[in-house]
Amino acid sequence: MENAGEVSTLRGSDAAVKGEAAIKFEFLTTKETFHKFIDSECQDSKEDKGSKNDAVEETAETCVDEPEAKKLKLDHEEKEKAWKSNSKRLRGQNKSRPYTKPTTYDEKRLCLSVIRDNRQCPFGDKCYFHHDVAEYMASKPSDIGDSCYLYDTFGKCGYGLSCRFAKAHTTPDFKTMEKTDLVKAYENRNLVRNSLSKDLQNRLRKRSVTFTKSEEYLRTLKNKKEQQGNGDASEAVTADPTGGERPLSTDAEKQLQHCQDNQPTVKTVGPLTDIDLIKMRPCEKKQVDFRDKLYLAPLTTCGNLPFRRICKRFGADITCGEMAMCTNLLQGQQSEWALLKRHESEDLFGVQLEGCFPDTMTRCAELINNNIDVDFVDINSGCPIDLVYKKGGGCGLMTRTRKFEQIVRGMNYVLDVPLTVKIRTGVQEKCSIAHKLIPEMKNWGIAMITLHGRSREQRYTKLADWDYINSCSKLASPVPLFGNGDILSYEDAMKARETGVSGIMIARGALVKPWIFTEIKESRHWDISSGERLDILRDFTNFGLEHWGSDTQGVEKTRTFMLEWLSFMCRYIPVGLLERVPQKINERPPYYMGRNYLESLMASQNVGDWIRISEMLLGPVPKNFKFLPKHKANAYK
C-alpha cells in the first residue's frame, strides 16, 4: 500500500484516532490520498464525455465549500480557553446555506393546459408558460433516461411532455401514450392519503371552519380561570352554627364542581341522543398496540414519505410524519399539510404536531381528527431548536407544566385516536425533569411516551442516558414508554430492550443505515454491498419521482432530499472493513478505501461527491445548482 507509512504515523498517535471508528489497517488511508483517488476516477469517466477543464469547472459550480470539520472533544481546561477565545459556540445547523427554488431550474415551463389533453388555457395571451409544443421540446433539457418509472408502474405519466423521461411514453407527433391494463389496475386505488382539498383550504383561509368540540373545551378552561379569579378575590363561605363563617368542605366543593361541569352548555332542540348526554370514554377510543414495535422517528427534512417507504420495506413497524406547525396547518398552508401525507404501505402511521398554546393545538387536533386518516397523534415536546424553544414549544413545554397539561387534555378531548408525546430528559444537561413529568402525564391521558435520553442543552453530543430511560420506564408503567438514542446495530437494540422499555425509536440510525430494522429483526450484522446501497438510493429516486414529480422541478426536489440523506448515509462504515463490530454512532469514520470505487465514493464526506452519486440516478445537475447540507454533524464533539 502506497500510503502505509503515512497511515502508520497517523495511527501511532492516540490523540489522532481519539473518537474514530476502528477500521482494518489495510483499508486506512489519508485525506489527500482518498480525494486524489476519488477525483482521478471521476476525471477518467468525465474525459469520455468532455474535456478535463469543463469537468473541473462543472464540479466547482455545483457545490459549495464545506464548513470546517468538527473539532475533537476538549478537556475542561481546554474548553474554557477555547470558550474565552471564541465567544460563538459551534452549532449543529447551517443557517445561511444557499437555497434555490426548484422552479428556477426551468427556463420556461409547459402550460398545464397543454399537459392535460390540450385544454383551453384560462389565462389566454397573458399566460407566462409555453403553449407551442415544438418550441418547448426544442428548448427542454435532454431526457435523463430511456424508461419512465411512472409510465412503467402505473401505465400513465401525469407529467406528459414535461417529464424528464418523456421519450419513453411520447409518440413522434408529441402525443402521450398509456398502458390501458395498468391504468385500470390502479384506477380505484388511493396510494397516498391525507391531501389538503381546495375546499378545506379555502375555508381555513376564510376562517369558516367550525371547531365545536374545541370551543367546548376552551370554554371550560375559561370558566375555571374565572372561578379561580373569583376564589382569589373572596373565598367561598357558608354559615357556621356558631354564628361565624367557614370555608366549604372538600366534598361539598367537589359536588359543586360536578354540578357545574354537568350543566348543559347549549340549549338543545329536538330529541336527545346518547351522543348529547354521554362523552366518549378513553377506553372507547381507537386502541393501538405500541408494545414491542420498531418506531421510525419523525425526522425533519429527511423523514419524508419516500424515505419512510424505504424504511417500511426494511421492517419499520411504526412511522410518523415530520413535525408540523399547528399554526401553519390552521392557516391552510399546502407545504405544511404535505407533511401529513400517508402512503398505503404505512399500516401504523401518526402525525407529529408542534405548538405552545392550548387553543391552537386543540383546534389543530380536531381539524386532523375530522379530515385525515391517522392512527395516532404525537405532541413534539422535545424539539431543541431555538426557533421553537424560545416561543415555548418543543422542549419549552416541559418547563410549562400547566400549559402542557391543558394542551394534552384538550387534544385528548377532541381526538378519537390515541395521543402520544415525545420528550427529552430535560432542558439543562445536569437537571433532568422527565421523571417528574411522566407520573403527571399518566393522569393526563397520554397513551404512549417516547423519551430521548439527552437534554436540550446536549443536542446530540455525549451518549444517551439509558439508565435514566430505564428508571423512567418503571415510573411510566403501565403506560408504554419507548427509548430513543444511539441505536445503530441490533446489539444496541438488544441492550436497549434489556432496560425494560416497551419499544425502541430509531432516528439517526435509520438515516445512516435504513436496513437497521432488518438487522434488528434478524439479529445479524448485514455486510451490505455498495451495489445494494445504490439500489436503495435508486428506489428512493423512483419513490421521489412518484411523490414530487418527474418533471424538472420534481427531479431537482428529489435530488435535494437525496443529498440531505447522503449527508447522514456517508457516515456508514461497511461491516467487512471494521476491526471491531459493530460501529458506534458517536465514532467518526476515518478516511478509508472501500472494496471498490463505489464503496469509496459513498464514504466521502464531500458535497461534490454526493452530487456525483445523485448524477448516477438523476442525470447531470443544472448549471445554477448549489447545495450545502442542512445538518452539520455535531455528534462527535
What residues are paired with 503 via a beta bridge? 482
Can you give the pLDDT at residue 57? Answer: 43
**Residue 316: pLDDT over 70:** yes
Question: Is residue 121 situated within a structural domain?
Answer: yes
Give the number of other Cβ atoms within 10 Å of residue 384's Cβ. 20
Q: Which of 195-204, 257-266, 419-428, 535-544 has the lowest mean pLDDT?
A: 257-266
More confident: 161 or 52? 161
More confident: 290 or 225? 290
pLDDT band at 475 (very low <50, low <70, confident <90, very high): very high
CA 392 vs CA 352, 448, 455: distances in Å = 17, 22, 16
Contacts of 98 (CB under 8 A, 6+ apart): 64, 626, 627, 628
What is the pLDDT averaged over residues 566-571? Answer: 94
Domain-terminating residue out of 189, 221, 243: 189
Q: Tell me whether residue 483 is exposed, middle or buried, using C-beta atoms within 10 angstroms of its C-beta: 0 to 12, 13 to 18, 19 or more.
A: buried
What is the pLDDT averaged over residues 359-367? Answer: 96
The one-letter amino acid at 289? D
Q: Tell me whether residue 60 is exposed, middle or buried, using C-beta atoms within 10 angstroms of its C-beta: 0 to 12, 13 to 18, 19 or more.
A: exposed
Helices (DSSP H) in 374-480: which residue ranges? Answer: 386-389, 401-414, 434-444, 466-476
What is the pLDDT averaged over residues 77-90? Answer: 51
Can you give the pLDDT at residue 202? Answer: 96
Q: What percent of the chain has pLDDT over 90?
A: 59
Q: Are 379 and 444 in contact (CB under 8 A)?
A: no
What is the pLDDT averaged over residues 337-352? Answer: 96
Which of 320, 383, 472, 570 is the catalytic position? Answer: 383
pLDDT band at 140 (very low <50, low <70, confident <90, very high): confident
Question: Is residue 411 situated within a structural domain?
Answer: yes
Rounded CA gap, 65 and 102, in Å? 21
Same domain (yes/no): 497, 353? yes
What is the pLDDT averaged over residues 565-570? Answer: 94
Q: Where are the beta strands (DSSP E) in 356-514?
A: 376-381, 419-424, 448-452, 481-484, 503-506
Question: Per residue in 519-566, pLDDT tens?
Answer: 999 999 999 999 999 999 999 999 999 999 999 999 999 999 999 999
Q: Are 398 and 423 in contact (CB under 8 A)?
A: yes
Can you give the pLDDT at residue 295? Answer: 97
Rounded CA gap, 364 and 353, in Å? 8
Same domain (yes/no): 367, 516? yes
**Residue 66: pLDDT over 50:** no
Can you give the pLDDT at residue 163? Answer: 92
Q: What percent of the chain has pLDDT over 70?
A: 78
CA-based nearest residue to 613, from 553, 549, 540, 543: 540
CA-based nearest residue to 425, from 390, 393, 391, 465: 465
Q: Quote the mean pLDDT of the chain.
A: 83
Same domain (yes/no): 511, 379? yes
**Residue 615: pLDDT over 60:** yes
Can you give the pLDDT at residue 173? Answer: 87
Question: Is residue 505 situated within a structural domain?
Answer: yes
Question: Can you give the pTM of this predicted structure?
Answer: 0.84
Same domain (yes/no): 373, 505? yes
Question: Is residue 4 situated within a structural domain?
Answer: no
Three cell numbers, residue 418: 390515541
**Residue 601: pLDDT over 90:** yes
How far is the first Cα of the chain from the last one, in angstroms, to the nearest whole number? 31
What is the pLDDT averaged over residues 326-334? Answer: 96
Question: Is residue 466 situated within a structural domain?
Answer: yes
What is the pLDDT averaged over residues 387-403? Answer: 91
Can you give the pLDDT at residue 242? Answer: 36
Range of the domain at 477: 293-526
Q: Are 558 and 565 in contact (CB under 8 A)?
A: no
Tell me if residue 9 falls in helix, strand or coil. Answer: helix
**Residue 90: pLDDT over 50:** no
CA 321 vs CA 338, 378, 597, 598, 600: distances in Å = 9, 10, 35, 32, 33
Q: Tell me whether residue 406 is exposed, middle or buried, using C-beta atoms within 10 angstroms of its C-beta: 0 to 12, 13 to 18, 19 or more.
A: buried
Q: ∠ at Cα 518 (513, 523), nearest 5°?
A: 110
Can you give the pLDDT at residue 40? Answer: 85
Question: Per residue in 269-297, pLDDT tens?
Answer: 555 454 444 455 555 677 889 999 999 99
Question: Is residue 127 situated within a structural domain?
Answer: yes
Same domain (yes/no): 400, 518? yes
Question: Is residue 510 situated within a structural domain?
Answer: yes
Can you give the pLDDT at residue 97? Answer: 66
pLDDT band at 339 (very low <50, low <70, confident <90, very high): very high
Number of structural domains in the chain: 2
What is the pLDDT averaged over residues 240-261? Answer: 41
Question: Per residue in 620-635, pLDDT tens?
Answer: 998 888 888 877 665 5
Same domain (yes/no): 377, 498? yes
Question: Is residue 3 situated within a structural domain?
Answer: no
Domain-terminating residue out of 526, 552, 578: 526
> Considering Cα of 56, then 57, then 63, then 69, what sign does the dihedral take?
positive
Same domain (yes/no): 345, 464? yes
Same domain (yes/no): 517, 368? yes
193 sits in which H/E element: strand 192-193
Same domain (yes/no): 159, 303? no
Can you give the pLDDT at residue 75? Answer: 52
CA-based nearest residue to 468, from 451, 491, 480, 446: 451
Same domain (yes/no): 304, 453? yes
Three cell numbers, residue 410: 384538550
Tell me if residue 23 falls in helix, strand or coil. Answer: strand
Q: Which of 37-41, 141-145, 256-260, 564-568 has the lowest mean pLDDT?
A: 256-260
218 sits in which H/E element: helix 212-233
pLDDT band at 377 (very low <50, low <70, confident <90, very high): very high
Burial 164-182 (b: 16+ CB within 10 A, else e): bbbebbbeeeeebeeeeee
Domain-terminating residue out of 526, 546, 572: 526
What residues are paired with 323 via a beta bridge? none
The DSSP call for residue 630 is S
**Residue 49: pLDDT over 60:** no
Secondary structure tally for the chain: helices H, strands E: 27, 13
CATH number of the domain that residue 405 is part of = 3.20.20.70
Catalytic site includes residue 42: no
CA 464 vs CA 44, 397, 457, 483: distances in Å = 45, 21, 13, 10
What is the pLDDT averaged over residues 316-329? Answer: 96
